[in-house]
């Protein structure tokens, strides 16, 4: 059986491919400056919103957000699996596709049938997002612009949650980082969306999706936007210039070291704040609430007492509530208090949950 296609060959194939030639053989394109435009083949339209960039090697539709490289286009347009699209593109370019010889016969995965069903489901949902009136109406009603990009070489992250006595003990993720092409295209999406946003949230999960975060922060600050970052890892230099970062205790300790007492913690937090040029640092402290550090002061908010069932999404809830309140004109202190209340609500629910308006603002 044929082995896997080397990643180095795939990268070289994409880099050398003439995407205008590939797309142009299937879509009528007209030159528009340094790019080419045409009617999108993935959704019905009368005005061209489909753009092909020969210099960047990708296509993008501003109407349905279809996007990708030459390989991704062949997969979507010709309904090919990833290896088939690589083979087709290589044939157009007169190249032979090499295969890695592992010396072992290719084994049939016990989950092949399940994977096949998942791929079919993926295609159904992708088509629905472009053509289903119900799906489109729902997204518009919620003000959601997903701006999804397809990375043919990226599998969906598998998350394994370990539960004990109705509480999550830990989570194990099985994944790999996205391609350079998709990351570059997401940066372009970010720049286009920037003028329509009042506050920017950058949640760094350490998955590779924020490869260009330093440039994103600079662009947002130049545009006069507040930037909130949920950090990850031990290199906070990449968050320099952001407005507010929201680490938890473990995340902050990884960067500033272990503190002896509250006075030492304040000193270390404010030193980091000064070093990165931040407006504030909001430390989430679990059962002990939160502490907001500014250049010359700090204030703490105790956690609201309730049984903790699942901390999934607590950090996301904090930064999202904080951003909404700041965008609405609330003071930073008032926004922190409400974010603390929202976090206390969601950790009292099992699974990924949200805090409703009624829970945040109960009638007296």
Q: Which of 93, 46, 96, 50 is nearest to 73 (CA)?
A: 50
145 in a domain, yes or no? no
Q: Which residues contact 154 (CB under 8 A, 6 or more apart)?
A: 176, 178, 179, 182
Question: Could you tell me if 186 and 323 lie in one domain?
Answer: yes
Q: Which of 301, 236, 300, 224 is nearest to 271 (CA)?
A: 236
Q: What is the pLDDT of residues 24-70, one digit of tens each?
A: 999 999 998 889 999 998 877 788 888 998 888 888 887 777 778 88
Domain that holds residue 35: 7-101
> Confidence class of residue 307 from pLDDT cuts 50, 70 and 90?
confident
127-164 pLDDT, tens digit each? 777 677 888 788 888 887 777 776 666 667 777 888 88
- Domain boundary (101, 116, 144) is at 101
**332: alpha, beta or left, given left = phi > 0 and alpha = psi -120 to 50?**
alpha
pTM more than 0.85? no
Domain boundary among 40, 67, 101: 101
CATH code, domain with 236? 3.40.1190.20
Same domain as 245, residue 348: yes
Please state the rounded mean pLDDT for residues 299-319.
83
Residue 239 lies in a domain: yes
Cβ–Cβ under 8 Å, residues 39 and 48: yes
Counting the structural domains of the chain, the total is 2
User: Is there a single domain that holds both residue 80 and residue 184?
Assistant: no
Which range is least confidently modeled, 45-54, 256-265, 274-283?
45-54
Classify each residue of 352-363 as buried b or exposed e, where b means 16 or more C-beta atoms within 10 Å of its C-beta.
Answer: ebebeeeeeeee
Give the residue numbers marked as catalytic.
316
> Does 136 fall in a domain?
no
Domain CATH for 45: 3.90.580.10
């Amino acid at each position: 059986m044929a082995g896997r296609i080397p990643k180095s060959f795939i990268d070289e194939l994409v880099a050398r491919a003439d995407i205008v030639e590939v797309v142009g053989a299937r879509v009528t394109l007209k030159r528009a400056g340094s790019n080419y435009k045409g009617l999108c083949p993935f959704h019905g339209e009368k005005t061209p919103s489909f753009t092909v960039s020969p210099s960047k090697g990708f296509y993008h539709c501003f109407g349905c957000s279809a996007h990708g490289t030459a390989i991704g286009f062949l997969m979507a347009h010709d309904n090919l699996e990833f290896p088939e699209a690589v083979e087709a593109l290589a044939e157009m370019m007169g190249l032979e596709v090499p295969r890695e010889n592992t010396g072992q016969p290719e084994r049939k995965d016990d989950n092949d049938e399940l994977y096949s069903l998942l791929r079919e489901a993926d295609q159904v949902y992708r088509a629905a997002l472009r053509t289903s009136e119900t799906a489109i109406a729902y997204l518009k009603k919620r003000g959601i612009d997903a701006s999804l990009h397809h990375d043919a070489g990226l599998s969906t992250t598998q998350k394994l949650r370990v539960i004990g006595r109705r509480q999550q003990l830990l989570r194990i993720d099985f994944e790999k980082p996205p391609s350079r092409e998709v990351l570059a295209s997401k940066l372009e999406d970010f720049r286009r969306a920037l003028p329509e946003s009042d506050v920017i949230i950058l949640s760094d999960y350490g998955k590779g999706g924020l490869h260009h975060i330093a440039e994103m922060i600079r662009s947002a600050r130049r545009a006069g936007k507040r930037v909130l970052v949920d950090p990850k890892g031990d290199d906070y230099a990449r968050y320099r210039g952001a407005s507010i970062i929201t680490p938890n205790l473990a995340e902050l300790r990884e960067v500033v070291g272990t503190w002896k007492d509250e006075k030492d913690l304040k000193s270390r937090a404010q030193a980091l704040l000064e070093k990165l040029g931040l407006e504030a640092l909001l430390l989430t402290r679990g059962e002990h609430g939160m502490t907001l550090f500014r250049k010359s002061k700090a204030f703490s908010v105790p956690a609201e007492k309730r049984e903790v069932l699942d901390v999934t999404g607590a950090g996301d809830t904090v930064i999202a509530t904080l951003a909404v309140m700041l965008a609405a004109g609330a003071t930073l202190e008032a926004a922190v208090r409400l974010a603390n209340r929202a976090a206390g609500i969601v950790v009292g629910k099992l699974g990924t949950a949200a805090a409703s308006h009624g829970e945040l603002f109960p009638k007296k």
